[in-house]
Amino acid sequence: MPVVVEERGQIAQQLVGATGRIEAGGLTSRELLHCLRNLVGLNVVGADIGEVALAHDHAEITGIAAARVAYELLSVLAATP
C-alpha cells in the first residue's frame, strides 16, 4: 500500500515559531525524527513539508528543523525498495 507523508505543523509551536498554524501539544523535533525513521520499510511514495514561514524565522530554528525533516524524508524515500 502506498504511503504519502505530510508534515504540517506537527512540531510544537514553542520549539518552531515560524509556522502558519499553532499545534498545541505538538511533537518535539526528536520525536518527529524518530517517527520518520520508523517509516523505513513502508512503501513511501511521496512526502511534503508545509507551513515554514522563513520571513518570521529570526533565529533560523524553524528552517533548520524543516531541513532536517527533509533530510530524513529523503533518507526514507531512498531506503524504499
Chain segment 36-50, per-residue pLDDT in tens: 899 998 998 888 887
- Which pLDDT belongs to residue 53? 75
- Which pLDDT belongs to residue 23? 64
How crowded is residue 19: how many other Cβ atoms within 10 Å of its Cβ? 23
- Which pLDDT belongs to residue 13? 63
C-alpha angle 41/47/51, rounded to 5°? 140
High-pLDDT (> 90) share of the chain, %: 10
Distance CA 17, CA 47 (A): 22
Distance CA 25, CA 4 (A): 23
Torsion of CA 18, 46, 29, 59, to 10 degrees: -30
- Which pLDDT belongs to residue 37? 92
pTM score, whole prediction: 0.78
